[in-house]
Amino acid sequence: MYFIYDDHFLKHDNGISHPENPERLKYIKRAADSLEYRGLIEYISPGPAGKKQIEMVHDSSYINRVEELSARGGLSFLDMDTGVSRHTYSCALLAAGGCMDGLDLIFSENSRYKKFFLACRPPGHHAFPAGGSGFCIFNNAALGAKYALEHYGLKRIVIVDLDAHHGNGTQDIFYEDSRVFYISFHQYPHYPGTGAADERGSGKGKGFNLNLPFAPGTGEPDYLAALIEIVIPLLDDYRPELVMVSAGYDSHVSDSMSSLELAEDSYRRIMASLSHISRKYCRERMAIVLEGGYEYRSTADSTVSTVMGCLEDNSFKSASDLEKYFGIDDSGKGRVKNRTLLDRTAKELGLKQ
């Protein structure tokens, strides 16, 4: 698996005591080194995206503003949480470029691997066309999706967002676009306040936006139930040509930025499920982009679990196969906290009588 990283990402500075800081990536890099030692990943250093490529998603006036604020030096803020400092613009270009480089790698006919993990800063899923927010500058996953649509002629991409916070920027960008199916697992109510279950897309994108707004205290049983009962059946119908994942690890039980209760191994199970879809419809191609995750050790360990889940050799044919593989029994099903939400959503989508 390709692991895209560069030390330059450490130079983005949000200010003293900010939760989105270089230590996050330092811990991830140390954990990834163990994967490289075992021959499970290959490090790739990315190149920056060009301004015209960033304009696939973002307004030129906004791009110019970030560039100007970075050139000014010091520390400025796009909102109360989102800093711009001397190296922010170059780091943001490198993060977006890393996603595009990863796609070029996995779409190459001579590619060694068909999956990549992009360990980057700043994150992206709260970034809108006209502005950044929630620690995010440019929307890396959205830019990657746009690049794949335009450069490789894809017609169907799914972005699965695992961050504890709803990816309001990504949803906004593709809300009227059926070519990108955006699916978000997140805590609700919570920052940024969007992501209700009835936000399903509009126009040509109607039916291609799915929010799974989970109550505080939600853990792995709900994620697996949602995947088995809703997400995988929907994707079997959609038949995506590329699976993208916004990998946020602030859903971990140890992370103070949410009240969700995933464990490290939860991400392995989730990624094994999504890898099944990539294997079935995408020639195994999968693009994973780092978003949140602010407790350093659990974020690093969950990154390792993500990679391991992608590498599992499994072949599922049905929901019952998934249940058997993960050892889900009646007691596990009984621990689903958001059963009313899942049943209502499945019924509304025609997946359950």
What positions carry a catalytic annotation? 126
- Whether the bond between 189 and the residue before it is cis, its omega within 30 degrees of 0, is yes
- Sheet of 286-290: strand order equals 42-44, 2-4, 115-118, 286-290, 242-247, 157-161, 180-187, 209-214
For tokens 């969950």, name the residue.
Answer: 302
Helix (H, G, I), strand (E, B) or coil at 9: helix
Token pair for residue 266? 């939860």
Evaluate the CA torsion angle 31, 34, 40, 41 in order and state its sign: positive
Give the amino acid at 146.
K
The helix (run of H) or strand (run of E) holding residue 275 is: helix 264-281
Residue 247, C-beta contacts closer than 8 angstroms, at least 6 positions apart: 117, 162, 163, 267, 288, 289, 290, 291, 293, 303, 306
Closest CA to 287 of 131, 151, 137: 151
Give the other-Cβ count within 10 Å of 303's Cβ. 26
Nearest 10 degrees: CA dihedral of 276, 277, 278, 279? 50
The CA–CA distances, whole Å, from 91 to 2, 54, 200 equal 20, 13, 33
Give the other-Cβ count within 10 Å of 26's Cβ. 14
**CA distance linking residue 101 with residue 88, whole number of Å:** 19
Helix (H, G, I), strand (E, B) or coil at 245: strand
